[in-house]
A and B are shown apart, each in its own frame.
Chain A
Amino acid sequence: MSQQNQQTSNGSSQSTTADQPNDRNKVILETNPTTKPTLIRLAVVLLLTLGVVGYLQLNPEALGSPDITNTAALVVLLLGLVLTVRFLVRTIILVRTTYTVTNSRVEQEYELLFRTHSKGIRFDKLRSHELNQNRIQSILGYGTISMNRGLGPLRLENVDEPEAVYDTIRTCAKRVA
Chain B
Amino acid sequence: MPVRGVGAILRGGFDAIFRPHKFVEFQTDSYGASRLGVIRQLGSLLGVYFVNLAAYAVPLTLAGIGVQSSQSAPENFARIAGSYGIDPVASWQLLTAFVQNSLFISIATAITLVTFHVGVLIVRDSQGIVQSMHTVVYTTSAYLVATFSAVWYLTNQAGVSGARQLIRNLQAAFVYAIIDALGAGVELPGGRPDSLGVTTISAEGQWILAILTLSLLYYLFSLYLGARINHRATRSNAAIAVVAVALSPVVYVTGSIIAYIIA
Q: Is A bound to B?
A: yes
A13 to chain B, nearest CB (A): 35
Q: Is the interface of B mostly helix, strand, loop or mixed?
A: helix
B-binding residues in A (CB < 8 A): 64-65, 67-68, 70-71, 74-75, 78-79, 82, 85-86, 89, 150-152
Q: Cβ of A78 and Cβ of B210 under 8 Å apart?
A: yes
26 intermolecular pairs with C-beta atoms under 8 Å apart: A64-B196, A64-B197, A65-B198, A65-B201, A67-B162, A67-B198, A67-B200, A68-B166, A68-B197, A70-B206, A71-B201, A71-B210, A74-B206, A75-B213, A78-B210, A78-B211, A79-B214, A79-B217, A82-B18, A85-B18, A86-B18, A86-B19, A89-B18, A150-B232, A151-B29, A152-B30
Q: Is the interface of A mostly helix, strand, loop or mixed?
A: helix
Of residues 1 through 47 on chain B, the ones whose CB sits less than 8 Å from some CB of chain A are 17-19, 29-30
Interface residues on B, range: 20 to 34
Report how far A86 CA is from B209 CA in the complex, Å.
Answer: 23
- Asked if B207 is an interface residue, CB under 8 A from chain A, the answer is yes
Most B CB within 10 A of own CB, among A65, A79, A152: A65
Report how far A6 CA is from B232 CA in the complex, Å.
Answer: 34
A90 to chain B, nearest CB (A): 9
Given A68-B166, A71-B206, A74-B206, 12 new contacts (CB under 8 A): A65-B201, A70-B206, A71-B210, A71-B213, A75-B214, A78-B210, A78-B211, A79-B217, A85-B18, A89-B18, A150-B30, A151-B29
